[in-house]
Chains A and B, each alone.
Chain A
């Protein structure tokens, strides 16, 4: 069974850092680009970042560029999101998602999603 399991969320003070993780199983993780997408009641779904199968191509939403860093460890079948200088507007449910097409260089559509991990930024 193809599965993505996110972890690392929690309650964090503004200005602090957090690292989210996503453990993948049931597919050849190193063949696919991966994404982070967040969701809030107010702003809906927002794509945050994506990384190609070999980490050679990476993209970020303008809203997070310079504060968020995506990475992956294909040997551990894991995806990560380092979030620095957290702001209240980063409060959201963060999903990890798998690209639909193998060996994508700039991302395609997202065909498998995890259940998400919640990040709450508050003092």
Chain B
């Protein structure tokens, strides 16, 4: 099973700051890496697919990069509504795993 390790576990920042979240895979996942945002009491929301493509309706301040085993989600300038938990997810032929999540909290 491919293990995804997200870091940091918690990130404390202020609105307007830049956020950089990391996801490392235990083996090559090529670019089959997605990012989701989840707020309390809500289902996950797809932000980024295939490493760097924004999903429909996702603001341009969200960007994804990376390939192989190292991936990054960047939020260029944090808005109040961006404080949430972020998960990365890889897929390969009906094999999916999620990272353990990074909680982005207000400093």
Q: Which residues of A contact B (CB under 8 A)?
A: 35, 44-47, 50, 57-62, 95, 100, 106-111, 113-116
Contact partners of B49 in chain A: CB under 8 A = 100, 108-109, 111
Q: A113 vs B43: C-alpha distance in the bound complex, in angstroms? A: 6
Q: Could you tell me the distance in whole angstroms from the C-beta of A55 to the nearest C-beta in chain B? A: 13
CB closest residue in chain B, given A35 = B96
Listed A/B pairs (29) with beta-carbon separation below 8 Å: A35-B96, A44-B98, A44-B100, A44-B101, A45-B36, A45-B44, A45-B87, A45-B89, A46-B98, A47-B96, A50-B94, A57-B94, A59-B94, A59-B95, A62-B1, A95-B43, A100-B46, A100-B49, A108-B49, A108-B91, A109-B34, A109-B50, A109-B91, A110-B34, A110-B44, A110-B46, A111-B49, A115-B42, A116-B43
* Contact (A100, B55) CB under 8 Å given A110-B46, A113-B43: yes
Question: In the complex, how many residues of chain B place their beta carbon closer than 8 angstroms to a beta carbon of chain A?
Answer: 24
Q: A4 vs B55: C-alpha distance in the bound complex, in angstroms? A: 18
Q: A50 vs B98: C-alpha distance in the bound complex, in angstroms? A: 15
Contact partners of A59 in chain B: CB under 8 A = 93-95
B93 and A111 within 8 A (CB): no
CB closest residue in chain B, given A46 = B98
Q: Could you tell me the distance in whole angstroms from the C-beta of A36 to the nearest C-beta in chain B? A: 11
Contact of B39 with A by CB under 8 A: no
Q: A60 vs B97: C-alpha distance in the bound complex, in angstroms? A: 12
Contact partners of B93 in chain A: CB under 8 A = 59, 106
Contact partners of B55 in chain A: CB under 8 A = 100, 111
Q: A110 vs B37: C-alpha distance in the bound complex, in angstroms? A: 12
B89 and A109 within 8 A (CB): yes
